[in-house]
Amino acid sequence: MTRHPDPDAGVGPDLDAAVGVLPSQWLRTAHDRRIIVGPELDETQIQPASVDLRLGDWAYRLRCSFLPGNESVAERLPAFEMDRIDLRDGAVLERNRPYLIPLCESLALPPDLSGRANPKSSTGRLDIFCRLITDRGHVFDQVAAGYHGPLFLEVVSRSFTVRVQRGLALNQLRLVRRPAAGSPAAVAVSDDEVRDFHRANPLLWVAGVGGDPDYVPSPADLPVQDGLFVSLALAEGEAPVGWRARKNSRLLDLTMVGGHDPDDFWEPVYAERGGGVVLEPEEFYLLLSRERVRVPPELAAEMTAYDPTNGELRAHYAGFFDPGFGHGPAVPSGSQAALEIRAHDVAFMVADGQRVCRLSFERMARTPDVLYGATDSHYQFQTGALSKHFHS
C-alpha cells in the first residue's frame, strides 16, 4: 500500500487533542487503544477517513424497522425478530425485508469523540439501504460522544436479493472530534471557505466551453448554499447516461467482485431528445454527475440529503468521499461522482445539468497517511456508475 508522506502523519498525543475527522493512521491507533473494539483489523478496512465495519455471525429477520430509544437493542429485539439466520457460511437476504445484523466491531469512545456512519459506495450503488444502530440510540447512523457498546446494522436490499457472509463490509464509520465549547475551531467548512479552497486548489471541474471535452476548474463563484451543488449528466447522445435496476433479477452475491453480468441486473438508460430522463416512481437509477469532483487531502466530503422542495426524489444513498477522491496527477481534473436516484409518488423529469444534491466538506484532524486512489479504490477513475460486483 502506498502511503501519503506527511510529517504530521504519526500518532501520539495529538490523537487526544486534534479537532476534525480522524485520519487513517489514527484509526489504527484507535483500534490499538481499544477505542474501536473487535477482531484484528484487516488493512483493507482502513480508508483515509473511515473504517469499514464487518458483519457478524447472525442476521435477524425483522417484521419492521425500529430504533431502541431508551433501551438496548437486545431488550427491544424480541418484539421485532421473526427469525435468526446464520451468516458464517453465507446466507441470502430477501428483497425489501429489513434485517438487523450485529457487527464484529464495537466502540468504547472517550467523551469528546463521536461517530458517524454511511453505507459504502458499492452498497449504495446496489440500492442496499444500510443504517447503523447503537444501544439507546434515537437516530440512525450517529454514535454519541462517549458511547460504549455494540454496533448493529439495519440492512434492506431494495432492488436485488443478495447473498452476504460474515466479515463482509457494507458500511463505514468516521470518528470525529468536535471543538470544545467556546473554541474558534470548526470541523465543517463554510461556503466562503469552500470558495477559498476552490481558488487555491479547485474542488469542482466542468467541461470546457464550446463543447471542448477537456475539463477546466469551475469559475470561482461556485454554486454553494450550505454545500457545493452537484448536477446530473444527462445530455442527449448514443451512449447510455445511466442504469435502471431490473425487477425480479438473479441472486446477487456480494462476496463476488467482478463476477456478475450487468445485463442480468440492469437496463441502460438513454437521454431523451434534447437531454434529460423521466424517472419512473419507485424505480432505482444509477447516474453520473455532470461535474468532476476533487477532494484534497486535508478535507473529507459528504453528499447531503436532497431538498424535497426541488422535486420528489432521493439522491445519493452512500454519500461519503474520502480525502484524495479525484485528486492527484493520475486524475488531474477530478472524477465524476456516481449518484443513486429514486423518484417518489409520481414520474419526474430530471434535466441535463439539474442540481440534485450538495457536497459538504469537513476538515481532517491531520492529513491521512494513505489517500483514496492509493488503496484498492474501485471508483477513482470511474466512467460508469455500476459497482465493483459487475464485469465490464
pLDDT at 183: 74
Question: Cβ distance 373 to 327 under 8 Å?
Answer: yes
pLDDT at 10: 38
pLDDT at 6: 43
pLDDT at 318: 57
In whole angstroms, give the CA distance from residue 386 to residue 392.
9
Do residues 165 and 236 both lie within one domain?
no
Do residues 17 and 152 both lie within one domain?
yes
Do residues 219 and 281 both lie within one domain?
yes
Condensed to tens digits (0 to 9), the pLDDT of residues 188-205 reads: 999 999 999 999 999 999
In whole angstroms, give the CA distance from residue 380 to residue 291.
14
Do residues 124 and 27 both lie within one domain?
yes
Of the three residues 128, 154, 177, the one that is the final residue of a domain is 177
Q: Three-state SS for 44?
A: helix
- Whole-angstrom CA distances from 127 to 156, 246, 280, 376 are 9, 12, 16, 22
pLDDT at 223: 87
The 8-class DSSP code of residue 330 comes to T
Contacts 24+ apart (CB under 8 A), 308-314: 310/355, 310/356, 311/343, 311/348, 311/350, 312/343, 312/344, 312/345, 312/346, 312/348, 313/279, 313/341, 313/342, 313/343, 313/344, 313/348, 313/350, 313/356, 314/341, 314/342, 314/344
Do residues 70 and 19 both lie within one domain?
yes
Q: How many helices (H) and strands (E) does the chain have?
A: 4, 27
Question: Cβ distance 322 to 295 under 8 Å?
Answer: yes
Instruction: Specify the number of domains making up the chain.
Output: 2
In a domain, 59, yes or no: yes
> What CATH code is carried by the domain that includes residue 20?
2.70.40.10
Of the three residues 144, 177, 210, the one that is the final residue of a domain is 177
In a domain, 266, yes or no: yes
Of the three residues 177, 211, 240, the one that is the final residue of a domain is 177
pLDDT at 345: 82
In a domain, 351, yes or no: yes
Do residues 209 and 311 both lie within one domain?
yes
Do residues 203 and 120 both lie within one domain?
no
pLDDT at 220: 82
pLDDT at 25: 95
Closest Cα partner for 149 from 158, 137, 161, 160? Answer: 137
Residue ranges making up the domain that contains 36: 13-177
Do residues 209 and 69 both lie within one domain?
no
In whole angstroms, give the CA distance from residue 245 to residue 262.
10
- Whole-angstrom CA distances from 235 to 177, 222, 240 are 42, 22, 10
Handedness of CA 313, 318, 324, 326 (dihedral sign): negative
Do residues 202 and 348 both lie within one domain?
yes
Q: What are phi and psi of 257, to 5 degrees?
A: -90, 125
pLDDT at 39: 93
Residues 6+ apart with CB under 8 A from 207: 213, 214, 215, 216, 290
Condensed to tens digits (0 to 9), the pLDDT of residues 164-192 reads: 999 999 999 999 998 877 676 789 999 99
In a domain, 4, yes or no: no
pLDDT at 3: 44
Closest Cα partner for 137 from 121, 157, 151? Answer: 151
Question: Cβ distance 6 to 163 under 8 Å?
Answer: no
In a domain, 382, yes or no: no
Neighbours of 226 (CB within 10 A): 12
Q: What are phi and psi of 133, to 5 degrees?
A: -130, 140
Do residues 96 and 241 both lie within one domain?
no
In whole angstroms, give the CA distance from residue 117 to residue 152.
11
In a domain, 370, yes or no: no
pLDDT at 57: 98
Q: Which three cell numbers stand for residue 126?
A: 446496489
Do residues 147 and 232 both lie within one domain?
no
In a domain, 377, yes or no: no
Do residues 341 and 232 both lie within one domain?
yes
In a domain, 58, yes or no: yes
Q: What are phi and psi of 175, to 5 degrees?
A: -110, 135
pLDDT tens, the chain, 392 aa long: 334 434 343 344 456 678 999 999 999 999 999 999 999 998 889 999 999 999 999 999 999 999 999 999 999 999 999 999 999 999 999 999 999 999 999 999 999 999 999 999 999 999 999 999 999 999 999 999 999 999 999 999 999 999 999 999 999 999 999 887 767 678 999 999 999 999 999 999 998 766 556 889 998 888 898 899 999 999 999 999 999 999 889 999 999 999 999 999 999 999 999 999 999 999 999 999 999 999 999 999 998 765 555 555 666 565 789 999 999 888 888 999 999 998 888 899 999 999 888 899 999 999 999 998 776 666 776 667 899 999 87
Does the global pTM surpass 0.75?
A: yes
Residues 6+ apart with CB under 8 A from 309: none
- Whole-angstrom CA distances from 258 to 128, 334, 338, 391 are 18, 24, 18, 4
